[in-house]
A and B are shown apart, each in its own frame.
Chain A
């Protein structure tokens, strides 16, 4: 049975218990979205595979919390994602979505002219114009270009000679173009623990294309990325990802949503893919993680993004933070920051995204003494934009605690 039917067939498990609806961050703040139970298993029974008449489906942010909490195993978010793609195939995908779904393209274009590009991104008039024409909200947290790429740093970087084993790093476009420091710190943390970090040629995983309904393009991106990574996976290398959402794309979402369940190479890559905190915690449980952490005296809110929960690994970042002396971690327990990848950038969804994230922003403001921590880059940008408080990847906190910055 093909993966489409396997996801669709999971609607049979729905007993209408409403648990997904109680967790949906979007339907809890706006009546424009009727809720995951409604658009997923309920309406799927009325679909024949030729799109869907319910435009309200487009308000699903794709956060995937519904699938995580469903006690019966309904693949709700995946059903929604496919239905939405079908609907968009019927109605057409706006230019805006095609643009923001390609951060790697934006990155390639913007990096050489970063200062100017960033100036434009901050300029109110430009943003208003962009809002009017492309319908990207003028206050949407568009990340600034770093001006240098992580890959350029990798090219200049010499790995330590004493490394006993190797691990592959899947950095993702956001690290490469917008947050290369995260990539650098991740490499240094891994090297500190005796790894040589291999960074193969790689491009975007296609997640934003998938979440915007551009399935054919997304599949091409997935195949291209898998082609780069599978030779390592086959040789037994583990692959770590710092972008928790891109890691989930490789682990599961590409298989389920893009109907690539039978793709052997993708399965092999998935079987070797780890979220970086998951990987480090695994080392720790084997007694292989260096625990020479210096105190980091601060109170830090930690937000586990919805995509991180989709991994089904608990919250390894929290377990790692517990090893750092004097670090007070406040788990926010809010479902979603609102950005949901590219969702909160869109002018018709911006207010919803901000309403979804409001309780989180409040908690962050109330508890952060310096920074907030979060595994997903888009969430970090959303949190910082809304609160003014800098946000870091958990690996940056470990980097600091190891004293690698000095």
Chain B
């Protein structure tokens, strides 16, 4: 198959790059061996939360942050591109209705009751903003084992917010209707799409919430019709309602994936899901095609003028560490930067900053992977997302921000070269 551009990987970085390229007029194929991390992560866009101290304003913190970390992917991006990518996303998925900005992080509760910084949240999460403190009731659903509101509330009530404001949080366990003992977040999302279920939940809650309390649900408030579900609950309860992300599957993440997939299709993109990209044919400094292993016992190829590698990090198997301690990038065999040659690769305490965690691809200022001498081996290959080295997205709370901004930037650099 052939196209103008091939993007490898269907996480947030890959989808962002692919949509941007397709909207820019390039025929674009997105090849992915499976669904990406959108299904595991909440749809919030965390740009920079800890550096390692709590970051109140990513916009103010980023310059110093990147000065201190010249190998960090953010150091490859111009200051306005991060903001531009966020505006771009907001416009592309209006149904999710993002709110927030780079100027000030929100603080939202995690499922264990930590007040966690994040920059952009879907409107359905915004009611959980803790910056000004407040009173919150967290709802437990009868058959959902992935949410423990009493534990959450007790921890949250002890949270020390930068503003000094107080948070009063408590739990309300519902006896919502149903027979099954074990229902996962997606199962509940489907139930919430039924008006009868919503009414039953709202009526049980109404008798138990107190004045001035905002109500936090586990992130299960609908899937395709989530706006209706969320708005109706707010109307029925007459108070702010918000979602708290919990263990995968992430329903907000699934919503985001579906919305982005639809945008890609509308832009004329072609999605090929299932085959694994196992290699590439290159001539001099140009990638001519990538080779995929699909169902048949023959390799298939995707030819293109431009290639974007958005395959993820260790978690996705894009960067592989074997039992002998060898590290490699699994599609192009690109050199992996930041991988410690010898022990220790990982430190004894779990929450330590492990040397191996920052391993990934080093890139130039237009996000092309570079070798040890700092030169890109291939002139038409760009990389974005978790495959980039130099970041610790979970400790920094920067994962989705990096995916979005580097995916956006990689596509932008390609579009500049095309025109």
Binding stretch for chain A, among B195-203, B296-304, B377-385: B296-304
- Shortest C-beta distance, B252 to chain A (Å), equals 13
Asked if A22 contacts B271 (CB within 8 A), the reply is: no
Complex Cα distance, B298 from A268, in Å, reads 9
A271 at the interface (CB under 8 A from B): yes
CB distance from A61 to the nearest CB of B (A): 18
| Chain B 288-327 interface residues, beta-carbon cutoff 8 Å to A | 292, 294-298, 300, 312, 315-317
Known: A69-B273, A71-B34, A311-B295. A31 touches B180 (CB 8 A): yes
Residues of A in contact, count (CB < 8 Å):
40
Q: Which residue of B lies closest to A29 (CB)?
A: B190
Residues of B within 8 A of A67 (CB): 274
- Is there an interface contact between B274 and A331, defined as CB atoms closer than 8 Å? no
Whether B2 sits at the interface, judged by CB under 8 Å, is yes
Decide: A312 and B1 in contact? CB cutoff 8 A. no
Interchain CB contact (< 8 A) of A331 among B265, B275, B300: B265
Which residues of A are found within 8 Å of B272, using beta-carbon distances?
Answer: 312-314
> Quick check: is B174 within 8 A (CB to CB) of the other chain?
no
Interface hits, B20-76 → A, CB 8 Å = 29, 32-37, 39-40
Task: Let me know if A84 is at the binding interface, CB within 8 A.
Answer: no
Question: Does A17 contact B40, Cβ atoms closer than 8 Å?
Answer: yes
A19 to B270, CA, bound (A): 21
Give the contacts of A292-322 with B (CB-CB under 8 A). Answer: 309-315, 319
In the complex, what's the smallest C-beta–C-beta distance from A74 to chain B, in angstroms?
A: 9
The verdict on A251 contacting chain B, using a C-beta distance below 8 Å, is yes
User: Is A192 part of the binding interface, using a Cβ–Cβ cutoff of 8 Å?
Assistant: no
Minimum CB–CB distance from B33 to chain A (whole Å) comes to: 6
A22 touches B39 (CB 8 A): yes
A270–B293 Cα gap in the complex (Å)? 13
CB atoms of A251 and B248 under 8 A apart:
no
Interface string of B178-190 (1 = CB under 8 A from A): 0010001011001
Chain B residue numbers with a CB within 8 Å of A163 are: none
Q: Which of B190, B270, B274, B275 has the most CB of A within 10 A?
A: B274
B249 & A19 in contact (Cβ 8 Å cutoff): yes
**Does B13 sit within 8 A of A, measured CB to CB?**
no
Which residues of chain B are near A72, meaning CB under 8 Å? 34, 316-317
Contact partner of B295 (CB less than 8 A), chosen from A19, A312, A315, A331, is A312
Query: B296–A273 contact, CB under 8 A?
Result: yes
Q: Is A115 an interface residue (CB 8 A)?
A: no
Contacting residues, chain A, for B316 (C-beta < 8 A): 71-72
- Which of chain B's residues 238-285 have a Cβ closer than 8 Å to chain A? 248-249, 254, 265, 270-276
Contact call A18/B273, Cβ cutoff below 8 A: no
Smallest CB–CB gap between B257 and chain A, Å?
Answer: 10
Known: A71-B33, A73-B317. A21 touches B274 (CB 8 A): no
CB distance from B318 to the nearest CB of A (A): 10
Q: Say which residue of A273, A282, A285, A312 sits within 8 Å of B275 (CB atoms).
A: A312
A240 CA to B292 CA, complexed, in Å: 20
Residue of A69, A70, A271, A315 ringed by the most chain B CB atoms within 10 A: A69
Q: Taking the nearest CB of chain B, how far is it from the CB of A48, in angstroms?
A: 26
Given contacts A15-B315, A28-B190, A314-B270, contact A71 B295 (CB under 8 A): no
Name the residue on A nearest B311 (C-beta). Answer: A71
Name the residue on B nearest A314 (C-beta). B272
A271 contacts B297, C-beta separation under 8 Å: yes
**Interchain CB contact under 8 A, A251 and B295:** yes
Task: Provide the A31-49 mask, 1 if CB < 8 A to any CB of B, else 0.
Answer: 1000000000000000000
Are A22 and B249 in touch, CB under 8 angstroms?
Answer: yes
Q: Which of B186, B274, B315 contacts A312 (CB 8 A)?
A: B274
Complex Cα spacing A252 to B265, Å = 28
CA distance A248 to B294 in the complex (A): 11
Residues of A within 8 A of B37 (CB): 71
Q: Which residues of A contact B271 (CB under 8 A)?
A: 314
Tell me the minimal C-beta distance from B7 to chain A in angstroms.
13
Q: Are B2 and A69 in contact (CB under 8 A)?
A: no
The answer to whether B40 touches A285, judged by C-beta atoms less than 8 angstroms apart, is: no
With both chains docked as a complex, state the minimum distance between the C-beta of A76 and any C-beta of chain B, in angstroms.
11
Between A23, A67, A315, the greatest number of chain B beta carbons within 10 A of the residue's beta carbon is seen for A23
A255 interfacial contact with B, CB 8 Å: yes
B35 engages A312 (CB within 8 Å): no
Residues of chain A lying within 8 A (CB to CB) of residue B292: 312
Q: Whose C-beta in chain A lies nearest to the C-beta of B224?
A: A359
A159-180: contact bitstring with B at CB < 8 Å (1 yes, 0 no)?
A: 0000000000000000000000
A196 interface hit (Cβ, 8 Å): no
A242 within 8 A of B: no
Is B300 a contact of A68 with CB atoms below 8 Å? no
**Do B270 and A319 touch across chains, with their CB atoms under 8 A apart?**
yes
Q: Across the interface, do B33 and A73 meet the contact criterion of CB distance under 8 Å? A: yes
A267 within 8 A of B: yes
Q: Are A28 and B186 in contact (CB under 8 A)?
A: yes
Cβ contacts under 8 Å, A18 to chain B? 39-40, 184, 248-249
- Give chain B nearest CB distance to A16 CB in angstroms: 9
Least CB separation from A253: chain B residue: B295
Pick from B265, B274, B317: contact of A68, CB under 8 Å: B274
Q: Does the CB pair A19–B294 fall under 8 Å?
A: no
The reply to whether B29 and A314 contact each other, CB–CB distance below 8 Å, is yes
Find out whether the CB atom of A271 lies under 8 angstroms from the CB atom of B33: no
B317 and A271 form a contact (CB under 8 A): no
What residue of chain A has the Cβ atom nearest to residue B317's Cβ?
A72
Contact between B296 and A252, CB atoms less than 8 A apart: yes
**Within the complex, what minimum Cβ distance (angstroms) separates B12 from chain A?**
13
Chain B positions within 8 Å of A31 at CB level: 180
Q: Are B34 and A312 in contact (CB under 8 A)?
A: no
Given A19-B249, A28-B190, A314-B29, CB of A68 within 8 Å of CB of B273:
yes
Q: Which residues of B contact A255 (CB under 8 A)?
A: 297
A to B CB contacts below 8 Å, 30 in the list: A19-B39, A19-B40, A19-B249, A21-B186, A22-B186, A22-B254, A23-B35, A28-B186, A28-B187, A69-B274, A71-B37, A71-B312, A72-B316, A73-B33, A248-B295, A251-B295, A252-B295, A255-B297, A267-B297, A270-B298, A271-B297, A273-B296, A274-B296, A282-B1, A309-B274, A310-B274, A311-B274, A312-B273, A312-B300, A315-B270
In the A-B complex, the 6 residue pairs with the smallest Cβ-Cβ separation, listed nearest first, are: A71-B34, A312-B294, A312-B274, A312-B275, A314-B272, A270-B297
Seen from chain A, the residues whose Cβ lies within 8 Å of a Cβ on chain B are 13, 15, 17-19, 21-23, 28, 31, 67-73, 248, 251-252, 255, 267-268, 270-274, 281-282, 285, 309-315, 319, 331
- Excluding A28-B187, A67-B274, A271-B298, 15 further A-B contacts by CB distance (< 8 Å) are A17-B248, A18-B39, A19-B34, A19-B249, A21-B186, A68-B34, A69-B34, A71-B33, A71-B34, A73-B34, A311-B295, A311-B296, A312-B275, A315-B270, A319-B270
